[in-house]
Structure 1
Amino acid sequence: MTKAEKTPLVPLEPPELKALWARWLAELGWQPTERQQRQLQQLYPLVMAGNRTQNLTRITDPIDFWEKHLWDSLRGLCLLGPWEVIQTQPWRGIDVGTGAGFPGIPAQIALPQASFTLLDSTQRKIAFVQGVLQQLSLAQARAVARRAEVWGQDPQERGSYDLALARALAAAEICAEYCLPLLRVGGRAILYRGHWTEAEAEVLERALSLLGGKLVHIEAFTTPHSHSVRHCLLLEKVAPTPALYPRPPGVPQRQPLGRGKP
């Protein structure tokens, strides 16, 4: 790695973001290459341009965007291990309910040897994400407009992923029903949460017992600028998921696992 690659570039305005981003990177323990930094820098103007015609995000302040979309997306990946190790892994990953591309696009930038599928049921959001992938030259990623319940029953996709991500999508037990059928045995899922309680953990663990998964780790932290509370949950698939799951579209949300009869 050259000296230029080790030096974080100046993010887009406001100017104070330069110092903030350098500090946030140090907290993550991740040093992006110049190419990775440029790709991250392009996300803000691309999302803001898309926001003019469709409802992609309510977060428009530059500092809030970098903290709550970029830093937060990358922070979840820290559960997978040291950066020098995870950046070399040729994982097949999926971001379930990607929306405007978070956390999937930052994850693809940070894990260049992986190949991510960015899944969302809304065609217009997927069209936007496809455009961003092209503009950032992220050829190893793809964007797909499909419901998670349908994708999880596709025989070519089911049980074929090493890593699943789900952020700001639904309750944890619902996210688990979307993610676990897609993972191979030994695969992992990261669920991004805000606050987290013991009662939620109990519901999730009951759901995981039906899905062939286990809750490996819960990590609590605060965001570096707004000091908001966050939790990331690391799940592991330890047994094949029964063919019943995921259930048909809409059923996981109407009848969440772990709260009553599946």
Structure 2
Amino acid sequence: MNENSLLPIYQELWQTTTNWTPSIEQLNLFQELYNEILIINRHLNLTRITTSEEFWEKNLWDSLAPILEHNLKDKKVIDIGTGGGFPGLPIAIIFPEAKLTLMDSVAKKIKFINEFSHKLNLKNIETLVNRAEIIGQDQNYRKQYDFALIRAVAEISVCLEYSLPLLKLGGIAILYRGNLTQEEKEITEKIAHKLGGKIVKITNKNTPIQDHIRHCIYIEKVKLTPKKYPREVGKPTKLPL
């Protein structure tokens, strides 16, 4: 293996920033994930993040830091728009007793996740090729999850409309964000309320190496989401709430 393909371990950094450290087995699985990403990325653009340090910070640390404080044993978790499998794959590695659904509308990305899960014998993952607007209205998925995770590249209103319908009452949506303005916080509160949620906390924990801004918004589902949400495909982005 090329020396540049070895992931940094950073046990002390994990401990000081998250109060947790990965086991040897978990470190090995992280390495295998990175190896597979490098191979597949040659012909499928799973991620622009390919250097080992960037991968550690943006795909491992970034995926796990917001969720490590939660006990996911026997919990149902959906990763909406998982892309190359983040945050879902690192979470599946760390929480083998959680039940993960990794969803994306791009079939090639889900195919990679299926192959990787099979290769590493990750039995706690199921995958879904679909749109959030469709599964949010499907009774097999609506109101089924304890946690809904979304690495929020879309507007906050879109992320909320995608995630809250999928949660059980008492479930938590976690919106992974970069910068967050006061105006966005107010919008989040207003739209979350409309969709049956309330903000329980917002964290600001910057990345430990590059010091990039990271916020996470935690929204609890406190009442049922009105049946009309999510609206049909394309509407949440074209006509945000």
State TM-score, norm by structure 1: 0.87
Aligned to 2:59: 69
Indicate how the Cα distance of structure 1 residues 16 and 142 shifts in structure 2: closer, same or farther if over 3 A, else same. closer
Indicate how the Cα distance of structure 1 residues 139 and 16 shifts in structure 2: closer, same or farther if over 3 A, else same. closer
Aligned to 2:8: 17
Q: Shift in Å at residue 40 of structure 1?
A: 1.2
Indicate how the Cα distance of structure 1 residues 36 and 16 shifts in structure 2: closer, same or farther if over 3 A, else same. closer
Match of 2:89 among 76, 101, 105: 105
Tell me the SS of whatever aligns to 2:49: coil
1:167 aligns with 2:151: yes
Match of 1:45 among 1, 18, 35: 35
Aligned to 2:162: 178
CA distance in 2: counterparts of 1:191 and 1:141, whole angstroms? 21
State TM-score, norm by structure 2: 0.94
Q: Please list, as runs of the form range in 1=range in 2, the aligned pairs for 1:235-250 lying within 5 A after superposition.
A: 235-250=219-234
1:140 aligns with 2:131: no
CA distance in 2: counterparts of 1:43 and 1:207, whole angstroms? 36
Aligned to 1:6: none
Q: Partner amino acid for 2:165?
A: P
CA distance in 2: counterparts of 1:14 and 1:117, whole angstroms? 28
Q: Shift in Å at residue 195 of structure 1?
A: 0.4
Q: After the TM superposition, list the runs of 4 or more consecutive aligned residues in structure 1 that deviate by more than 6 angstroms.
A: none
- Deviating more after overlay: 184-193 vs 127-136: 127-136
Contact conserved, 2:7 with 2:52, CA < 8 A, in 1? no
CA distance in 1: counterparts of 2:5 and 2:127, whole angstroms? 31
Contact conserved, 1:57 with 1:100, CA < 8 A, in 2? yes
Aligned to 1:254: 238
Tell me the SS of whatever aligns to 1:222: coil
Contact conserved, 1:223 with 1:230, CA < 8 A, in 2? yes
Match of 1:156 among 140, 150, 155: 140
Contact conserved, 1:24 with 1:71, CA < 8 A, in 2? no
1:187 aligns with 2:178: no
Q: Shift in Å at residue 15 of structure 1?
A: 6.7
Aligned to 1:35: 25
Q: Partner amino acid for 1:66?
A: W
CA distance in 2: counterparts of 1:241 and 1:64, whole angstroms? 38
Q: Shift in Å at residue 202 of structure 1?
A: 1.4
Q: Which blocks of at least 5 consecutive residues in structure 2 are unaligned?
A: none
Aligned to 1:212: 196
Q: Partner amino acid for 2:203?
A: E
Q: Shift in Å at residue 95 of structure 1?
A: 0.1
Indicate how the Cα distance of structure 1 residues 50 and 193 shifts in structure 2: closer, same or farther if over 3 A, else same. same
CA distance in 2: counterparts of 1:253 and 1:233, whole angstroms? 20
Indicate how the Cα distance of structure 1 residues 65 and 15 shifts in structure 2: closer, same or farther if over 3 A, else same. closer
CA distance in 2: counterparts of 1:16 and 1:39, whole angstroms? 11
Contact conserved, 1:97 with 1:169, CA < 8 A, in 2? no
Percent identical: 42
Indicate how the Cα distance of structure 1 residues 90 and 15 shifts in structure 2: closer, same or farther if over 3 A, else same. closer
Indicate how the Cα distance of structure 1 residues 92 and 69 shifts in structure 2: closer, same or farther if over 3 A, else same. same
CA distance in 2: counterparts of 1:22 and 1:13, whole angstroms? 19
Q: Which blocks of at least 5 consecutive residues in structure 1 are unaligned?
A: 1-11, 258-262
CA distance in 2: counterparts of 1:133 and 1:151, whole angstroms? 22
Residue by residue over 1:114-172, the C-alpha shift from the partner in whole angstroms, topping out at 9 and shown as x without a partner, is 01000000111111111111122111111110001101111111001001100144122
Over the aligned positions, Cα root-mean-square deviation in angstroms equals 1.5
Q: Partner amino acid for 1:43?
A: L
Tell me the SS of whatever aligns to 1:164: strand
CA distance in 1: counterparts of 2:54 and 2:195, whole angstroms? 36
